[in-house]
Amino acid sequence: MKAPITLELDITGLSHDGRGVARHDGKAVFVRGALAGEKVLARLVQRHRHYDDAQVEQVLSASPDRVDPRCPHFGVCGGCALQHLAPEAQIAAKQRVLAENFERIGHVEPKRWLAPLTSAVWGYRRKGRLSVKFVDKKGKALVGFREDNGRYVADLTRCEVLAPAVGERIEALAALVGTLSGVREIPQIEIAAGDDTTALIFRHLQPLTDADRAALIAFGRTHDLAIYLQPGGNDSVHPLWPEAPRLAFRIDSADVELEFRPLDFIQVNSAMNEAMIAHALALLDPQPGDRVLDLFCGLGNFTFPLARRSAHVVGVEGEHGLVERAKQNAARNGIANVEYHVANLLDDQRDTPWARQRYDKILLDPPRSGAQAVFDYLPKKDTDRIVYVSCHPASLARDAGILVDKHGFKLRAAGVMDMFPHTAHVESIALFER
């Protein structure tokens, strides 16, 4: 067996996934556990043609931004990548990632940088997916995120970033699953938390016994958690206990409440979502006479706040179920100046009635792939302002270049929002004006 290779490295930056970046013999080395400005001893983990992977063994000279991770599982669990970096330094690093992407990919620069949006950094995750695995060697079930290497389920006792109703009960949840006769047929548990109800959705590959169902109900009663079962695809999800749980969250600034189903997409961080909506509306500045188009609208997270300030809002979303629930939420909240359409926005929609209408302003909230396809048929000349909410800085940078170079917009402002503290995920927002 070969002895491990240890390198002394000077860390010059952070990669997009939160690893330290160094160079050795002219080759890039990505070092897990290292921070910019540090000198470290690192163990070589894997060689590649153009770069190498390494793991910190010893920090010889620490960054002033290094902090002690709050979670005892940090470094093993893959749920977080940056707990060893002070929160204010995390968001600064994400701002640098966004700036580098604008420069390198979009070849644009915002006229001004927006102050980063931040909120509470612990117990913020109201959505998540936990893996489940019964490990014979340990004689117990593991419930948690995947380990950093992705091959195994992390052996967690708690999670500091999940909503406390679940994060503080990981050990109890694992113990429950370990008692079920169908433990080997449960691959995952999803978490969905509304303002008043937190739900666990148990995916199971075989029918559960009456005893297992009773055990799940008892756990839900004891810990005040709604229990759902998922025996098949997303449409198979149904409540086990109570009979009709209600999942909903409020957007106080718009005086609306959105009901949702357990597997519906909602923003993970409720406090940041409220701040993000206010931020987006301030940038878009909808006026009482404006017609606004909300693309990739989902349940209406932005649509309803926009409707409170505009003459008319059109929401377009590709998932039929989300549009149906958006319509129901509009009726429930007494909002009549919205209309919804189901459409695959990655296809050319120029001949659809909604795309031929006039819009003063557009709000975009696309998936990671971005909104490039939309720009083949929108925006039209009547649109003078666009706010783009992004969950991937590279696609935002690419799309910014398109809006500036091909559609005559200027990138007036941009900034980051810390939707996922302690992870390397970069959420951002940008304002474009003609």
d(CA 94, CA 415): 9
**Whole-angstrom distance, CA of residue 349 vs CA of residue 240:** 41
Look-up of token digits 């739900």:
199
Cβ-Cβ contacts under 8 Å for 242 (sequence gap 6 or more): 220, 226
Contacts of 208 (CB under 8 A, 6+ apart): 180, 182, 216, 229
Catalytic residue among 80, 159, 297, 391: 391
- 427 touches 403 (CB < 8 A): no
Cα 376 to Cα 394: distance, rounded to the nearest angstrom: 19
Q: Which of 258, 138, 141 is nearest to 188 (CA)?
A: 141
Read off the tokens for 405.
Answer: 């170079």
332/256 Cα distance (integer angstroms): 9
| Coil, helix or strand at residue 151 | coil
CA distance 290 to 311: 5
CB 126 within 8 A of CB 190: no
Q: Output the CA angle 145-150-151, nearest 5 degrees.
A: 105
- Tell me: cis bond preceding 305? Omega within 30 of 0 counts: no
Give the residue from 321, 277, 279 showing the smallest Cα distance to 303. 277
Instruction: Return all residues near 271 (Cβ < 8 A) that are at least 6 apart.
Output: 119, 120, 124
> 28: closest CA among 15, 41, 43, 37?
15
CA angle 411, 416, 421 (to 5 degrees): 165
Three-class secondary structure of residue 419 per DSSP: coil
What's the Cα-to-Cα distance from 396 to each of 116, 305, 361, 428, rounded to whole Å? 17, 23, 18, 8
Active site residue 391: yes
Residues that are catalytic: 391
